[in-house]
Amino acid sequence: MKLLFYRYGSICEPDIIAGFQELGLEVSELTEEISNKSVSPQECIHLVSNFLLEHPMDFVFTVNFYPSISEVCNIFHIPYLCWIVDSPVMELYTASVQNPWNRIFLFDRCIYQEISPLNPDCVFYLPLATNVAQKDNLIRSKSQRQLDTFHANVSFIGSLYTEKCAYDRLSKDVSPYLTGYLNGLMEAQLKVYGYYFVEEILPDSIVDEFVDHFQYFYSLPGKNFLTNRTTLAQLYIGTKITVMERDRLMHRLSEHFPITIYTGSDTSAYPKLINKGLAKSQTEMPLIFHESDINLNITAKSIRSGLPLRVWDILGSGGFCLTNYQADLPELLQIGEHLDIYSSFDELEEKIHYYLDHPDIRKEIAQNGYDIVKSQHTYPIRLEQMLSLAYHQ
């Protein structure tokens, strides 16, 4: 089979390409958007259409959903496969999601349950995966001295979102009731893991006042299924809660443990945090995961039930993962056997103490996590599942 992979530079794209190739598929790439982030939907349509006219393909593939590519594939009568790896992906609420040539794969079961009724035969649940072989090869290529440079007691790779929290653009002249309601709502959600309830309990009056006092509130052009309530809950409040959670955790944990963070975010507010800057996804992240005693996963709140890529990459690197609870987790991995979880700040602090003091238990869990990911959750395995769902309904 031949596929066209339209790329924009997601960190998982090289691993997905390697997975397709391992299955024997021939991959062609369009990479304009990797270097030119201003590619318009019209230019995207032009690029994909011209390529398909000259190079017949069995299907087109993207990471996340492109309405413009969906429309092209609908015209060409060629399957459009896309794997959603981020959240929120607002394009999922466009009318294009209903096109019959779509094959949309969602890593978050809650989002799947929301989107699948819009196109029941063409939307599927598919968790993320990892490239164990690439990580093994990288780790084996390093000397112990090189590996030791990446050692940390507790590490976290990711953004603090402080530099990209759109919620903070809310006008200051809103009513005290709006401020109080949203602050109370976010404080309540911060205490709950495994269930994101924000959207369910936003009153129309709160949504309307927020929109009225927020310049350039996000909207989709053309026919779509996106409501202001969904946008507020997922795009704005979800990100703000993530900022609050990561801020408080970094303050609290760095006072008690040597915490190493790899991020481009400003960490000057946390004087005891060890910030080593951005980590290279292909050549450094696996080494960090492998050499850290404890790898933290703090899932963005907009990921309502699924496991983010960070969890799979930690386990696939042979690292020990301590993550917040997510509702999809028990059907994919065994808590306490493949990784461990926390469901409160207090529990997280207690478990960091415990696992730093019990290296043998920590290493056994890390090995179990690596073994199950290598046998059940690699890209070739997941992509084979994807193709089976796409072509054998």
| 362-386: pLDDT as tens digits | 999 999 999 999 999 999 999 999 9
- Mean pLDDT within 5-27: 97
**Burial label, 204 (beta-carbon count in 10 A; 0-12, 13-18, 19+):** exposed
pLDDT at 164: 84
- Mean pLDDT within 34-39: 94
pLDDT at 319: 98
Residues 153 and 295 in one domain: yes
pLDDT at 178: 97
- Mean pLDDT within 110-127: 97
In which band, very low, low, confident or very high, does the pLDDT at 117 lie, cut at 50, 70 and 90?
A: very high
Residues 276 and 372 in one domain: yes
Tell me what the pLDDT averaged over the chain comes to: 97
- Mean pLDDT within 247-256: 96
Res 27 pLDDT > 60? yes
Res 187 pLDDT > 60? yes
CATH of the domain at 107: 3.40.50.2300
Range of the domain at 86: 2-129+381-391
Residues 263 and 303 in one domain: yes
Residues 71 and 154 in one domain: no
Res 210 pLDDT > 80? yes
Residues 25 and 109 in one domain: yes
pLDDT at 393: 54
| Predicted model pTM | 0.96
In which band, very low, low, confident or very high, does the pLDDT at 132 lie, cut at 50, 70 and 90?
A: very high
Domain count, the chain: 3
Residues 60 and 123 in one domain: yes
CATH of the domain at 276: 3.40.50.2000
The residue from 238, 258, 289 where one domain ends is 238
